[in-house]
Amino acid sequence: MGNSDNKSVKIAIQKDGRLTQDTVSLLRAAGLSFENYNRKLFVKCRNYPAEVLYVRDDDIPYYVASGIADLGIVGQNVLRESGFRVNTLLDLGFCRCSLVIAVPQNSNISRASDLRNSTIATSYPNSAKEYFKENKIPIKIVNIKGAVEIAPSLGFAHAIVDIVATGKTLVLNNLRILQKISDSQALLITPNEVTSKEKAKIIDDLKVKISEVLGGKDYEYL
């Protein structure tokens, strides 16, 4: 499977979310001219051999790992959770956040090992399981898709594993950070094996253009 057209690359980016604005600005600052997302999932660049695929961020690791897309911009947290192996070309420096374990502010839990045999609510079940397994702490995971912060106050979890940026959401929900699991930022990724020389050349060119933007002062969004 994969991409049959060898003369252009497909770039998978988040269609509508926290990654979108900085991603689109970065690609444009690198010189690509293309339409914003407007229900069209697939847009051609006007001035560069590339097409932009507007997708859910969770699908980006699969698209890139499978070669359906030749490049992707996605959060490290989502890539890690997906388990897919890809090649990371660049750390992009935006959408910084951390995956953390959080517990109720007033609980007497003071370290991760205090969570032995407790229930953890998360939208990141694989990353959470991996952390507790590595640390030999048996726990039970409840996988919920959103508003994870509400789980402890509703009484169905002792702790959560979730993304934190400013920490405001935790405070609003009477939670505190117990332990950081990992840091995250947006990454530029590509398949482990690029199938054609033509594509490899375009990917390389784009990587150079993006690095120049990241190194320069004309990129105001970082």
Residues that bind ligand PRT (CB under 6 A): 14, 17-19, 56-58, 75, 77-78, 95, 97, 162-169, 184
Task: Write phi, then psi, for 199 (nearest 5 degrees).
Answer: -65, -40
Give the one residue of 22, 51, 57, 81 binding Zn ion; rule: CB under 5 A.
57
Shortest distance (Å) from residue 57 CB to Zn ion:
4
Inter-helix orientation angle 20-29/197-215, to 10°: 100
Shortest distance (Å) from residue 117 CB to ligand PRT:
26
From the list 52-60, 99-107, 165-173, 200-208, the region that binds Zn ion by CB under 5 A is 52-60
Shortest distance (Å) from residue 20 CB to ligand PRT:
7
Structure tokens at 194: 């690029």
The closest alpha carbon to 173, from 93, 119, 102, belongs to 102
The C-alpha angle 17, 164, 124, rounded to 5 degrees, equals 75
Instruction: Kindly state the DSSP code that residue 112 receives in the 8-state scheme.
Output: G
Q: Is 144 in the site for Zn ion (CB under 5 A)?
A: no
The item of Zn ion, ligand PRT, none sharing an interface with residue 3, based on CB under 5 to 8 Å by kind, is: none
